[in-house]
């Protein structure tokens, strides 16, 4: 059957029925409502450097009508903000050689460094055939549109390996290794935790005492913390949270953040069922919030903001409440986002992450390949060193 490839400039170019037939996943960030919220609010737009450009495969039915059989999320990027796989050094090397690194094509969830699906297909599609075809489409598109290359950030393991290819597949990509800090329900040594107390029981006494003291600070400050899901999150909560997010970004970096009020309002209307808001109040007034997403396996910590500084509140809202929620729901993993060595002493284990990269310029492809070989060794050493700092009791 003949397969046609096309580039889509909006998630709305596929209707909801086709979208759901492709994405057989409860991963929150590939739901059409989530991506549409980003797009319709203007957060992913040519003007923001996140121009939607999704790669789709179509096949004809017996009656001659076409159906979308596969889709790979993607964006034309004119900068590297909001990706969390830092390639500024590569861009600088291009610039110093008189070449342009931007624009580039990136398959990623905007502003979300969380592992998950990037490619969807109907059940009968053979991905061993499909993915080499898509790699070739990506390579040709980069060359035709004068893009420096394509990148797939935080893909699932199977897709990462298929995009990498092998020595007999010259269209294959390079793999870059990173390190984040994730919480695992029960870790590698026991069954899932039954409570936060059960989780803390695995800490050594000094670290356990320190964590309890940190949580007590929040209570002593007269702050109460609630977890709200879905319809329990009221309109005033969304308004307050956006204000906290906005002002916290201003304090920290001098800009207003990647996301706007329209995006959060769209979340409230279309994505609330997979949304957790940790709401902190003092004297009946909301003073801080942390916004998470979740699916059947994983909790994803995403956004935080406050207008009152309370010792320990950030850790309470962004980590401890998330761990309690994950234990209650039986979730197996809590991904709190990129970076943050302070997570180690709170029981978040160093976890390797991966991304795929293909550069059209052979000289730079070879240079990056050499760089990644050295970087990977350093990352793996770093992960091992971080593992030695975990707060858990040492096993015999």
pLDDT at 67: 95
pLDDT at 64: 81
pLDDT at 59: 95
Whether 96 shows a pLDDT value over 50: the answer reads: yes
Whether 191 shows a pLDDT value over 90: the answer reads: no
Question: Looking at residues 70-90, what average pLDDT do you find?
Answer: 97
Instruction: For each of the domains in the chain, give its residue range(s) and CATH number, in order of start.
Output: 3-179+351-386 (3.40.630), 186-331 (3.40.630.30)
pLDDT at 186: 87
Q: Among 102-116, 189-203, 290-304, where is mean pLDDT lowest?
A: 189-203
pLDDT at 396: 47
Q: Among 94-103, 139-148, 159-168, 300-309, where is mean pLDDT lowest?
A: 159-168
Whether the model pTM is above 0.85: yes
Whether 161 shows a pLDDT value over 70: the answer reads: yes
Whether 54 shows a pLDDT value over 60: the answer reads: yes
pLDDT at 223: 98
Question: Looking at residues 191-220, what average pLDDT do you find?
Answer: 96
Question: Looking at residues 179-185, what average pLDDT do you find?
Answer: 97
pLDDT band per the 50, 70, 90 thresholds, residue 61: confident
pLDDT at 251: 85
Predicted confidence (pLDDT) per residue in 341-395, tens digit: 999 999 999 999 999 999 999 999 999 999 999 999 999 999 999 999 999 998 6
pLDDT at 1: 64
pLDDT at 339: 84
Whether 31 shows a pLDDT value over 80: the answer reads: yes
pLDDT band per the 50, 70, 90 thresholds, residue 190: low
Token pair 């990977």 in the structure block, residue: 376
- How many angstroms separate the Cα of 207 from the Cα of each of 18, 153, 201, 268? 50, 34, 10, 38
Question: Looking at residues 23-49, what average pLDDT do you find?
Answer: 97
Q: What mean pLDDT, rounded, does the chain reach? A: 94
Whether 303 shows a pLDDT value over 90: the answer reads: yes
312, 346 contact by CB (below 8 A): no
């Amino acid at each position: 059957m003949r397969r046609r490839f096309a580039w889509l400039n909006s998630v709305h170019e596929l209707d909801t029925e086709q979208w759901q037939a492709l994405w057989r996943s409860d991963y929150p960030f590939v739901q059409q409502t989530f991506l549409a919220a980003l797009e319709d609010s203007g957060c992913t737009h040519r003007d923001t450097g996140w121009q939607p450009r999704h790669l789709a495969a179509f096949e004809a039915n017996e009656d001659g009508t076409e159906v979308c059989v596969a889709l790979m999320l993607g964006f034309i990027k004119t900068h590297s903000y909001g990706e969390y796989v830092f390639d500024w050094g590569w861009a600088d090397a291009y610039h110093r050689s008189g070449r342009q690194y931007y624009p580039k094509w990136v398959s990623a969830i905007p502003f979300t460094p969380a592992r998950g699906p990037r490619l969807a297909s109907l059940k009968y599609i053979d991905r061993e055939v499909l993915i080499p075809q898509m790699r070739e489409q990506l390579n040709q598109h980069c060359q035709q549109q004068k893009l420096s290359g394509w990148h797939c950030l935080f893909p699932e393991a199977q897709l990462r390996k298929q995009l990498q290819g092998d020595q007999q597949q010259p269209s294959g990509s390079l793999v870059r290794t990173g390190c984040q800090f994730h919480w695992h329900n029960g870790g590698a040594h026991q069954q899932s935790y039954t409570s936060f107390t059960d989780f803390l029981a695995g800490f050594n006494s000094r670290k356990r005492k320190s964590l309890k003291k940190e949580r007590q600070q929040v209570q002593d400050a007269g702050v109460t913390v609630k977890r709200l899901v879905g319809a329990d999150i009221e309109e005033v909560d969304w308004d307050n949270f956006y204000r906290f997010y906005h002002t916290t970004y201003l304090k920290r970096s001098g800009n207003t953040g990647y996301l706007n009020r329209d995006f959060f309002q769209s979340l409230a209307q279309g994505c609330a069922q997979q949304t957790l808001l940790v709401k902190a109040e003092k004297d009946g007034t909301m003073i801080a919030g942390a916004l998470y997403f979740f699916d059947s396996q994983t909790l994803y910590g995403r956004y935080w903001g406050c207008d009152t500084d309370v010792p320990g509140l950030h850790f309470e809202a962004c980590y401890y409440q998330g761990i309690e929620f994950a234990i209650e729901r039986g979730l197996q993993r809590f991904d709190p986002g990129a970076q943050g060595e302070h997570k180690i002493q709170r029981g978040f284990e160093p976890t390797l992450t991966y991304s795929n990269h293909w550069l059209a310029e052979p000289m730079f492809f070879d240079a990056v390949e050499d760089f990644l070989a050295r970087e990977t060794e350093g990352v793996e050493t770093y992960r091992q060193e971080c593992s030695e700092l975990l707060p858990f009791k040492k096993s015999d």
